Amino acid sequence: VFAPRAGERTSGLISTRVVYDQLASVYLPIAIGVFAFFTLMIVLSVLRYRDRAEPSRRSENNLLEGSYAVLLVCVVAFLLYLTLTDEHKVDSVANHERPALVVDVTGAKWEWEFRYPADGITGRSGFVGDQPLVVPEDRAIRFNLASQDVIHAIWIPQLEFKRDLIPGAVEHVTLTFTRTGTFDGQCAEFCGLHHAEMVFRVRVLAPARFASWAAAHRGRAT
Amino acid sequence: MTVQASSARPAVRRPGGWLGAFTSTDHKRIALNLGCMSLVFFLLGGVFALLMRSQLASDNSHLVSDYTYAELFTMHGSTMIYLFVAPMAIAMAMYLAPLQIGAVSLAAPRTALTGFWIWLGGGLVMQSGWFAGDGPGRDGWFSYVPLSDSQNTPGTGQDLWTMGVTLAAIGMLLMGACVLATILRRRAPGMALLRMPIFTWTALVTVLMVVSGFPALIIAMGLLFIDRTTDAYIYSGFAGAIDYQDIFWFFGHPVVYVMFFPFLGAAAEAVAVCAHKRWFGYKAFVASMLAFSALSMAVWAHHMFTTGGVTNQYFAATSTALVVPAGIEYFDLVGTLVGGSLVLRTSMLFGLGFFVQFLIGGLSGIWVASPTLDYAANDTYFVIAHFHYTLFAGSVFGFFAGVYHWFPKITGARLREGLGKLHFVLLVIGTNLTFFPMFLVGEDGMPRRIVRYPQHPGWVTDNRLETIGAGIIAVGVLVFLINVVVSMRRRVIAGDDPWEGHTLEWATSSPPPPLNFNRPLPPIRSYAPLLDLRQQIADAGPPATGAEIREEASA
């Protein structure tokens, strides 16, 4: 049931962005189609039946409506099949991947702390600094998410993924970046006065470059 | 029934004037007071929105401070939800449902009046935060803990907000319970449940949602208040944070339907009357209403997909299942239009506007019902766009459809059609200009509740369009207010039944007398008794005299 669809896996890993794009490419045309259909029906009815002399008295067609309801149930089943399959991949399958890197992410009013326990590197971003989250491309990365005060949410649009950081527990997510470059990240859950300034950047490096970056920064700040 | 009620009423002299108007136990009076006060709060919430949109018109504006911006979005959401859309839904149900079921009065009217005063007190308590030293509530309309605890948000303003919401919820719960009792127990002879008009059905499920959902809000807010003012540590740690969200959204999703059903009912009645056809697929529609309300109690945690603290699959399944009742509703709309004789009055335009625009809100709702898609959309402008398409492009349009439809009944005067159509055109342009670009910036990653976005100059164009759109909405609402004033000053007398209505409120005077009906009710054989009568007369041939109608009515 949970077999990958073509083109989904990049280097054998789950990419939240690819999963999102594939699911969206099914949902979006259906949504646009349904919108266009009903809008067209309404507009055509208005054009055709405006100020007509004798209105019809027909007020139900339960056979047609019942069949239509069955069709709707099938649509729901189809959407749920797709969406639950994908949700399973992002949430469960990804977390079974063996991470190439572990990063502890801590949110606090109004800054991000990125700690690389294996290399002893620490970086801070947001209100206090502008040290990016540096990660290797095409590697499973385990993020341990924690908050020191209120609820924050780590939101990286490039990954089409966010997760809340709730004080009192550590959440684990496994994510993979499939493109090198510098991307934006931001806190998405309102966390008080300077919420808007709780921003950071993600620098995705080729694995070899990441390794030399980590070696150069070992035991220091990013 | 009329005779009984009037003879049972003791001969007490009621105070007149303002005091009389605000202490009346007439359901129409309470509902009008509630509706008018909600409209005042609507204008206030609109001013907050305009200030926010002005701030966001450029990426690094300092028109308002970070602190003020937090107050503005909190009070915009809180005012619109607790003090405008939800109470307006109850006001419409309270005014119209008793008339539509042929009841002479509301059940437990003093309780309803008490509820109105508690709600109004709650609204004033919430707004009084503007005069507190530290300003009003500033943690958003759902005020998640631990941000809203006394450590992270100390001060009187947030206390007043918490207490204001609690009181408003208690008031609405009382009023909703009275409307529920009225619909269940005070129907006229012959008005079986399955002969209740479409609007009354939507009102019934609305107050069902109020009665089952609002206690959760009272609990969430009451405990938050205790947490803030004592050392109770009720919402502590991870579990406390998740518990608060669970309790809050257990109210928070049913209330979405409270804020939707009566406006759907209003749009449906306006469309059916303007199509000169009874609403299509009545039984399926009633079943879909009940399915909607049942499902709406089981979808709350789709607001929490990104917490990692709930079973996403279950809530994705229940939320996506809403496709079925929503699809039925649209089928019935098309069925009503096809074969009708459509008159494009302002009420019809707003009704059709409701259905077309709400579709965008509904379809984007199915989108965010998918956890995988919601991981991206959650807490971005995509979600803002989604729920403004349901609440503004949907509910507010349904509300205006109802206003243009029932204003003659309530006041005895018609609203101006020309100004009404101008109001409609301005509102359609303004609404889509404001809320559609939000889908685009949201998809591009813009989070909600940020006061500035200097890192993203690319979002400026869309945000500027949204600000212009908000201005056009404001002009549209101004045209509506002018229309009301003009129509009340220079009255065009409406008569009892200006639109050839289908339901019992059109079988009495405009405005209805204190005990609602000044003449015997027509026979009730379906959910459109006046349409039945009209069709019967048409079938009987030309010589349909007033005497015959009266004879038929008294039979």
Round the CA-based radius of gyration of chain B to a whole number and report it: 24
- The Cα A126–Cα A199 span in angstroms is 5
Q: Give residues 67 to 126 of A whose Cβ lies within 8 Å of B.
A: 68-69, 72-73, 75-76, 79-80, 83-84, 86-87, 90-91
Instruction: Write out pLDDT tens, residues B414-439.
Output: 999 999 999 999 999 999 999 999 99
Cβ-contact B237, B464 below 8 angstroms: no
Cβ-contact A101, A141 below 8 angstroms: yes
| Partner residue facing B327 (CB), from A61, A72, A160 | A72
- The Cα B429–Cα B370 span in angstroms is 30
Of the pLDDT bands very low, low, confident and very high (cuts 50, 70, 90), residue A160 is: very high
- The Cα A82–Cα A62 span in angstroms is 30
* Per-residue CA distances from A129 to A121, A123, A200 (Å): 15, 9, 9
Q: Give residues 118 to 147 of B whose Cβ lies within 8 Å of A.
A: 139-140, 144, 146-147
Neighbouring CB atoms inside 10 A of A53's CB total 5
The conformational region for residue B279 under phi > 0 = left, psi -120 to 50 = alpha, else beta, is beta
Cβ-contact A206, A129 below 8 angstroms: no
The DSSP H or E segment spanning B199 is: helix B198-229
CA dihedral B401, B402, B406, B407 (to 10 degrees): -70
Instruction: Write out pLDDT tens, residues B32-88.
Output: 999 999 999 999 999 999 999 999 999 999 999 999 999 999 999 999 999 999 999
Cβ-contact B492, B418 below 8 angstroms: no
Express the helix, strand and coil content of chain A in percent, nearest 5 each.
40, 30, 30
Instruction: Write out pLDDT tens, residues B289-335.
Output: 999 999 999 999 999 999 988 999 999 999 999 999 999 999 999 99
Query: A124-141 b/e with 16+ CB inside 10 Å = b?
Result: bbbeeeebbbbbbbbbbb
Burial of B360 (0-12, 13-18, 19+ CB in 10 A): buried
- Please choose, from the candidates A176, A194, A178, the residue with its C-alpha nearest in 3D space to the C-alpha of residue A126: A194
pLDDT for res B60: 94
- The Cα A17–Cα A13 span in angstroms is 12
- Please choose, from the candidates B57, B9, B16, B25, the residue with its C-alpha nearest in 3D space to the C-alpha of residue B461: B57
| Partner residue facing B455 (CB), from A160, A191, A199 | A199
Show the tokens assigned to B435.
């809320």
Residue ranges of the alpha helices (H) in chain A?
16-49, 62-88, 207-217
Show the tokens assigned to B328.
């039925």
How close, in Å, is residue A127 to chain B by CA atoms? Answer: 14
Q: Report chain B residues whose CB lies below 8 A from the CB of A87.
A: 312-313, 316, 370-372
Q: Is B268 on the interface with A (CB under 8 A)?
A: no
DSSP category for residue B520: P
Q: Is B320 on the interface with A (CB under 8 A)?
A: yes
The DSSP H or E segment spanning B516 is: none
- The Cα B106–Cα B27 span in angstroms is 6
Residue A87 and residue B309: Cβ atoms within 8 Å? no
Predicted-complex ipTM score? 0.94
* Per-residue CA distances from B366 to A216, B162, B333, B363, B398 (Å): 48, 31, 20, 5, 21
Residue recorded with tokens 């915009």: B76
pLDDT digits (tens), chain B, 555 positions:
444 444 455 566 777 788 888 899 999 999 999 999 999 999 999 999 999 999 999 999 999 999 999 999 999 999 999 999 999 999 999 999 999 999 999 999 999 999 999 999 999 999 999 999 899 999 999 999 999 999 999 999 999 999 999 999 999 999 999 999 999 999 999 999 999 999 999 999 999 999 999 999 999 999 999 999 998 889 989 999 999 999 999 999 999 999 999 999 999 999 999 999 999 999 999 999 999 999 999 999 999 999 988 999 999 999 999 999 999 999 999 999 999 999 999 999 999 999 999 999 999 999 999 999 999 999 999 999 999 999 999 999 999 999 999 999 999 999 999 999 999 999 999 999 999 999 999 999 999 999 999 999 999 999 999 999 999 999 999 999 999 999 999 999 999 999 999 999 999 999 999 999 999 999 999 999 999 999 999 988 765 566 656 666 665
